[in-house]
Amino acid sequence: MSLEVLRAGVLTTVQDLGRYRMQHVGVPVSGAMDPYSLRVANRLVGNEEGAAALEITLAGPQLEFHADALVAMCGGDLSPTIRGKTVPMRRPVRISRGNRLDFGECVQGCRAYLAIAGGIDVPQVLGSRSTYVRAALGGLKGRALKSGDRLVTGHTERPRFARLNDCTTFARDGFAAPHWSIQVNPERFLRRPQEIRFVAGSHWESLSAVARDMFTGETFQLGSASDRMGFRLEGSRLEGSERGTVASAAVAFGTIQLPPDGSPIVLMADRQTIGGYPRIGEVASVDLCLLAQLKPGDKLQFRRISLPEAQRLLQTQEKALAKIGETILMRIYQ
């Protein structure tokens, strides 16, 4: 199956779950900003949950399918349509050949994940298909998609949800989807300001009590200079600790750095492997998918939780994901 990019959108890249085992030589992990949505989207089309998919940011692309395809979209709602009709999210969708999937206004969240059965077939680079634009690694030629690009998907052993082809809508609308969908924390997703939970970092205790209270008490706004590397938080400036920089050490997805100017930066998917600013905390992994769906200007608040709590939440999320996976498998092969 192949598809053509008629319009690329603001930033559409190929991403999987990231490039591990290379951080010791300075290669960033990259991968999906909202890995949860990528995993669910992949499962909905019967892929391995870490298969390469498209991460679509804010304003979406227009894609033409050159053959029948099975797709699923999760994460932010960027108003996907085919022939003017809304294409439902969080469920498998069969698209008939020759149709164009068109993304419009971003009505919820910031990043949509489009998984296609078979996964997007680009070469693995250092163990991953994720695009890291800064070093032109992975994805399609190491860059974001451009109009005129052609993407190819991997093979699937047999068509999934093939019965959807028989739906009356398939010929009429160019696509067909089942009535069920997967529910993903909708109530937390819509909350503004978005609550983001974090665990204290190496330098949390060296902040003044005032600065700690500010960080958990005030509302921040996602800055316009935020990108896949880091989210800049605007709002009250936190009084730094005595030292402006600390000995460089490893950082993680969600590390909250405090540069000397007092405006925290949350490190995201394309973060560097090591950093030299004080680390006041790390966002709980379960909330990274919520954080990744904020767009510049969105408001957020931080709430501190303990490390065991963060790891319990993560375990609960993993169990829920496994259950979603089982449900989908049953539907695929029923």
Partner 1 sequence: MNADLAGLSFSPLGDRALLLELGGDAGAATVKQIRAIAAFLSEQSLAGVLDLVPSLNTLGIHYDPEAWRDANGKQSPYEQLLQKIQDALTGLASLELADGDLYEVPVCYDDEYGEDLVSLARTKSLPVEQVIEIHCAPVYTVYMLGFAPGFVYLGQLDDRLVTPRRDTPRASVPAGSVAVANEYTGIYPAQLPGGWHIVGRTPLQLFDLSQDRPLLFGAGDRIRFVPISAGRFRELEGARQ
Give the residues lining the site for partner 1 (CB under 8 A). Answer: 20-28, 125-126, 134-135, 137, 199, 201-202, 247-255, 272-274, 279, 282-285, 307-308, 310-312, 314-315, 318
Residue 214 beta carbon to partner 1: minimum distance, rounded to whole angstroms: 21
Q: For residues 137 and 238, which CB has a smaller minimum distance to partner 1 in the complex?
A: 137
80 vs 68: CA distance, rounded Å:
17
Q: For residues 124 and 147, which CB has a smaller minimum distance to partner 1 in the complex?
A: 124
Residue 202 beta carbon to partner 1: minimum distance, rounded to whole angstroms: 6
Q: For residues 6 and 229, which CB has a smaller minimum distance to partner 1 in the complex?
A: 229
| Residues sharing a CB contact under 8 Å with residue 144, sequence separation 6 or more, in sequence order | 8, 11, 12, 13, 131, 133
Contacts 24+ apart (CB under 8 A), 136-145: 137/19, 137/27, 137/30, 138/14, 138/19, 138/30, 139/13, 139/14, 139/15, 140/14, 144/8, 144/11, 144/12, 144/13, 145/5, 145/8, 145/9, 145/12, 145/13, 145/14, 145/54, 145/61
Q: For residues 230 and 254, which CB has a smaller minimum distance to partner 1 in the complex?
A: 254
CB 116 within 8 A of CB 52: no
Residue 28 beta carbon to partner 1: minimum distance, rounded to whole angstroms: 8
31 vs 172: CA distance, rounded Å:
36
Q: For residues 164 and 265, which CB has a smaller minimum distance to partner 1 in the complex?
A: 265
CB 71 within 8 A of CB 176: no
Residue 215 beta carbon to partner 1: minimum distance, rounded to whole angstroms: 16
Q: For residues 87 and 266, which CB has a smaller minimum distance to partner 1 in the complex?
A: 266
Residue 57 beta carbon to partner 1: minimum distance, rounded to whole angstroms: 22
Residue 319 beta carbon to partner 1: minimum distance, rounded to whole angstroms: 9
322 vs 329: CA distance, rounded Å:
11
